[in-house]
Structure 1
Amino acid sequence: MRAARRPELRLPPLERYEGGGLEPDGDYDGREFAGADLTGQDGAGARFMDCALRGCALDETRLPRARLLDSVLDGVRGVGTDLAGATLRDVELTDARLGGTQLHGAALERVRVRGGKIDFLNLRAAALKDVVFEGCVLVEPDFGGARLERVEFVDCTLKGVDLSGAVLKDVDLRRAASLEIARGVDRLSGAVISPSQLLDLAPSLAAELGIVVEG
């Protein structure tokens, strides 16, 4: 089991962003978005390099195919944020409050998600490499068809996880505070779990294998 590599961020002095809004294919370098209301804005294909988004509203914000590189997202909140096909590399997401975030087809590398709560996270067909979920709550995250390599869940609450069609390699679930798999328990090959988690998952595993358990 190979451990995930954490992002190593050293942000330079940042310039506060005073622009009127996001622009498709915009280029944002060394900017700080502090308390910005980005609701409904369109930043499709935009590039964020050495940026910090702190306390921003991201309701229905469109960021498909965006690139977030060497950046921090702290205390962001929103419903329906669209990051489909986006690239996140060397990113820290801290204390987020998000719902229905679309990250299907996205590529996440050296990403740390710490604290907060994310409901209905869509990571279908995404590629996750060196990603750490730490101390957060994930409600019905969808990893259907995704590829997870060197992914760790530390002190996380995982409710209703969908692993249908997912491919796992060096995925560490042992330290999850709570693990509930709704679909795709047969895709756990390539993951490591604790003995207590095995007991909790036994009924689902037996059902998947067609084993009838009777007293």
Structure 2
Amino acid sequence: MSGKIKIEQPKIPQDLTQANFQEIYYQDEPYLESCIITNCTIDREKMDKIVLSQVVFKNVTFSDVSFRNIELTDVIFDHCDLTNADFMGGSIHRVEFKESKLLGINLSDASLGNVIFENCNLNLSAFGYSSLKQVRFDHCSLESADYYECKFIKVKFETCRLNEVNFSRTPLKGIDISSSAFQRITVSPEDLKGCEVSPDQAIVFAAMLGLKIKE
């Protein structure tokens, strides 16, 4: 799977209405569409099955939020803070996270398709049991992230920090991590088959497998 992965970008209208997140309470369903939310804090909100479509968040802090089973379609998070946000079970399609802090975010048991994480801090993030299709992590820090028993289809880690990432029970066949850096990751030999790595990474994996390389 060398080379670029084609990822559909969010389909965002040019003229978005400025909105306040509290407007969601005035809808019959927890739903927001075709708007932009900027320079604010969304604090201690807990809603299940919230639906967001064609929404841009810019300079927004999500503090102690739980949006389990969230549906995100055509959404951009630009310079946002989603530390410890709970999006467990979410459906995330055509979404971009740009220059954002996602430390400890919970995306376990979620479905991600056509998603880009660009220059984001995803340390300690949880993706366990998730399905990722056409997803790119570009210049992200993913230290101690958890990808336990995930399904990867056309996923790429481009110049990322992957130290102490857990790939247990996640097949990495065709996944390119060659441009990324780590000292140690957790992965079984059978799941490592077909993974695209650099020569230096191959030496690290050899050491993890107990091989001694003669110079």
Q: Given the two structures, how large is their TM-score scaled by the length of structure 2?
A: 0.78
Report the counterpart of residue 27 of structure 1 in structure 2: 27
Trace 1:76-155 onto structure 2 (pairs within 5 A).
Answer: 76-155=60-139
Report if aligned partners of 2:93, 2:112 keep a CA contact under 8 Å in 1.
Answer: yes
Say which of 206, 211, 214 aligns to 1:213.
211
Deviation string for 1:79-113 (max 9, x for gaps)?
A: 32111101000000010122110011000000000
Q: Decide whether aligned partners of structure 1 residues 170 and 94 sit closer, same or farther in structure 2, where only a CA change above 3 A counts.
A: same
Distance 1:22 1:190, change over 3 A: same
Report if the CA contact (8 A) 1:144-1:163 is conserved: yes
Structure 1 residues without counterparts, runs of 5 or longer = 29-44
Task: Please state how far the C-alpha of 1:73 moved relative to its aligned partner.
Answer: 0.7
| C-alpha RMSD of matched pairs (Å) | 2.6
Higher share in strand: 1
Partner of 2:187: none
Give the counterpart of 1:14 among 8, 13, 17.
17
Task: Specify the alignment match of 2:153 in structure 1.
Answer: 169
Shift of 1:172: 1.0
Gaps of 5+ in 2: 182-196
- Verify: 1:63 aligned to 2:47, yes or no: yes
C-alpha separation between the residues in 2 aligned to 1:70 and 1:212? 50
1:206 to 1:163, Cα distance in 2 relative to 1, 3 A: farther
- Contact 2:18–2:37 (Cα < 8 Å) also in 1: no
Alignment length (residue pairs): 192
Conserved? CA contact 1:84–1:105, under 8 Å? yes
Distance across 1 between alignment mates of 2:117 and 2:177: 15
Identity of aligned residues (%): 21
Query: CA 1:214–1:92 in structure 2 vs 1: closer, same or farther (change >3 Å)?
Result: same
CA distance in 2, matches of 1:73, 1:195: 30
- Cα distance in 2, alignment partners of residues 61 and 137 from structure 1: 22
- The one-letter amino acid paired with 1:177 is C
Match of 1:5 in 2: 8
- Return the match for 1:182 from 141, 165, 169: 165
Could you report, residue by residue, the CA deviation over 1:175-203 in whole angstroms, capped at 9, with x for unpaired residues? 23322243125522352222665344864
Letter matched to residue 82 of structure 2: L
The aligned counterpart of 2:38 is 54
Distance apart, 1:14 and its partner CA: 1.8
Q: Deviations for 1:119-161, whole angstroms, at most 9, x for unmatched residues?
A: 1010110000000001111111111000000000112222111
Measured in 2, the distance between the counterparts of 1:111 and 1:78 equals: 17
Tell me: CA distance 1:203–1:98, structure 2 relative to 1, closer, same or farther (3 Å): same
Residues in 1 aligned to 2:137 and 2:149: alpha-carbon distance in whole angstroms:
19
Q: 1:168 to 1:59 in 2, by over 3 A?
A: same
* 2:8 aligned partner, one-letter code: R
Q: Cα–Cα, structure 1 residues 159 and 205, in superposed 2: closer, same or farther, change >3 Å?
A: farther
